[in-house]
Amino acid sequence: MIPLAKPYLSDQEITSVASVIRSGWITQGPKVAEFEKAFAQYVGANHAVAVSNCTSGLHLALMALGIKENDEVITVSHSYIATANSIRHCGAIPLFVDIESDTFNINPLKVEASISDKTKAILCVHQMGMPCDIGTLLKISEKHNLPLIEDAACAVGSQYYLNEKWEQIGKPHGDIAVFSFHPRKIITTGDGGMITTNSKSLFEKFQLLRQHSMSISDLIRHKEKSVIFESYNELGYNYRLTDIQAAIGLVQLDRLDDIVEKRRKLADLYKKFLNGVKGIQLPEERTNTRTNWQSYCVRFDDSLSVHQIMQQLLEVGISSRRGILCAHLEPAYEVEPWTWYGKEEGKQVDLKESENARNHCIILPLFPEMKVQEIKFVCDSLIKILSNN
Ligand SMILES: Cc1ncc(COP(=O)(O)O)c(C=O)c1O
């Protein structure tokens, strides 16, 4: 069976975890601080704050910006459900706009058209690692004085060409970026997340909120020579990453460039073997973006059944997944806590590109240890299936 994804782990991660276990400090402590420092340096951000996962990080990002009940946050429906959920966790309303068909990312033109008095932030997603049109989104957020949050769950190691140089996603370009270290992402800590920002005040807020708003951390109290008491001055959360996870993360971060290079070579092979095949459209980078190919997502002609193609792949031992879901089509969004541009005027919801991408795409296997013969086998199998359809 060729799996869809496989984390790239080695004995180095095991050794690193063993040393943390032997140290006696296993929850958020010195390793988390080391991981944060290394991560901030890698992406070029002033600050990084480790959290339990990307969803909790997005929740903190929105809360720290003061997003509250009935505020609207512009985002995409076409994303993992966590993106929209993080807005609802604040009691706020996701205002969904459509995506661009080539990048699967938020359409900046639709963002601008959707802004109203109720809009309090923009939450863009670098979907499947493909950077979104940050340059245009930044101009819109500046013009309308709206904070920009980047859901960079999938995008560590992806780059954007800005100011005449390649910059890492997470620098961040908006106010805040949030990453995921779930095993299907580029680097993993089992579960885990990282927030990056250049704002000192946001950084300090994140540090407090992720640990119950404890005024003096356990690490500091542990090192003190005199007794000090902490206080809890506002409602906080337990969104900590552990030192055990950070020990894995540090090793993974060291291997990130190698992982991205491997993924990019494998994606090139998909392109080589599937180029020009009838009925299938391949993903493309724009000239100002470099993706980490977190997912290799192909689109089929409308007449083809995605379900049938996936079933036939499964029967020859190839795992695949449907394209990215649309939150507004999931049962949890059946009753509308979400909205869309034009609702007041009674216009039809226009999330056509999102729905098309959801219905006609599949994600093919891609992981650093994947062999050339395996890519060839996936492509040959797909070509055979398509020729019989
Ligand atoms: C775009 C996007 N946002 C958020 C998340 C949530 O990440 P986590 O599982 O770390 O909370 C994911 C995970 O798949 C994702 O793909």
Q: What are phi and psi of 299, to 5 degrees?
A: -115, 140
Q: Are residues 245 and 263 in the same domain?
A: no
Mean pLDDT score, 77-89 = 98
pLDDT at 343 over 80: no
Q: Are residues 190 and 275 in the same domain?
A: no
- Ligand 1 atom with least separation from CA of 182: 10
pLDDT at 342 over 90: no
The reply to whether 5 falls in a domain is no
In angstroms, what is the span from residue 151 Cα to ligand 1's centroid?
8
SS3 state at 20: helix
Q: Are residues 146 and 280 in the same domain?
A: no
- Per-residue pLDDT of 17-48, as tens digits, reads 999 999 999 999 999 999 999 999 999 999 99
CATH (domain of 224): 3.40.640.10
Q: Is 150 in the pocket of ligand 1 (CB under 6 A)?
A: no
- Ligand 1 atom with least separation from CA of 127: 1
Start-to-end C-alpha separation, the chain: 23
Domain end among 256, 273, 298: 256
In angstroms, what is the span from residue 283 Cα to ligand 1's centroid?
21
Q: Are residues 313 and 380 in the same domain?
A: yes
Q: Is 105 in the pocket of ligand 1 (CB under 6 A)?
A: no
Domain end among 256, 283, 304: 256
Given this model, what pLDDT does residue 249 score?
98
The reply to whether 137 falls in a domain is yes
Mean pLDDT score, 39-58 = 98
pTM of the model: 0.97
Q: Is 53 in the pocket of ligand 1 (CB under 6 A)?
A: yes
The reply to whether 1 falls in a domain is no
Percentage of the chain surpassing pLDDT 70?
A: 99
- Ligand 1 atom with least separation from CA of 79: 1
DSSP state of 333: G
Sign of the CA dihedral with 153 first, then 159, 160, and 164 last: positive
Structural domains counted in the chain: 2
- Per-residue pLDDT of 250-285, as tens digits, reads 999 999 999 999 999 999 999 999 999 999 999 999
The reply to whether 312 falls in a domain is yes
- Per-residue pLDDT of 354-382, as tens digits, reads 999 999 999 999 999 999 999 999 999 99
Q: Are residues 248 and 264 in the same domain?
A: no
Q: Is 83 in the pocket of ligand 1 (CB under 6 A)?
A: yes
- Per-residue pLDDT of 89-144, as tens digits, reads 999 999 999 999 999 999 999 999 999 999 999 999 999 999 999 999 999 999 99
Q: Are residues 288 and 149 in the same domain?
A: no
Q: Are residues 303 and 236 in the same domain?
A: no
Given this model, what pLDDT does residue 386 score?
96
The reply to whether 4 falls in a domain is no
CATH (domain of 305): 3.90.1150.10
Q: Are residues 200 and 212 in the same domain?
A: yes
Given this model, what pLDDT does residue 222 score?
86
What domain range includes position 231?
Answer: 11-256
- Ligand 1 atom with least separation from CA of 53: 10
Q: Are residues 117 and 233 in the same domain?
A: yes
The reply to whether 6 falls in a domain is no
pLDDT at 348 over 70: no
In angstroms, what is the span from residue 153 Cα to ligand 1's centroid?
5
Q: Is 141 in the pocket of ligand 1 (CB under 6 A)?
A: no
Given this model, what pLDDT does residue 357 score?
98
Q: DSSP letters along 72-133, please? A: EEEEESBS-HHHHHHHHTTT-EEEEEPBPTTT-SB-HHHHHHH--TTEEEEEEE-GGG----
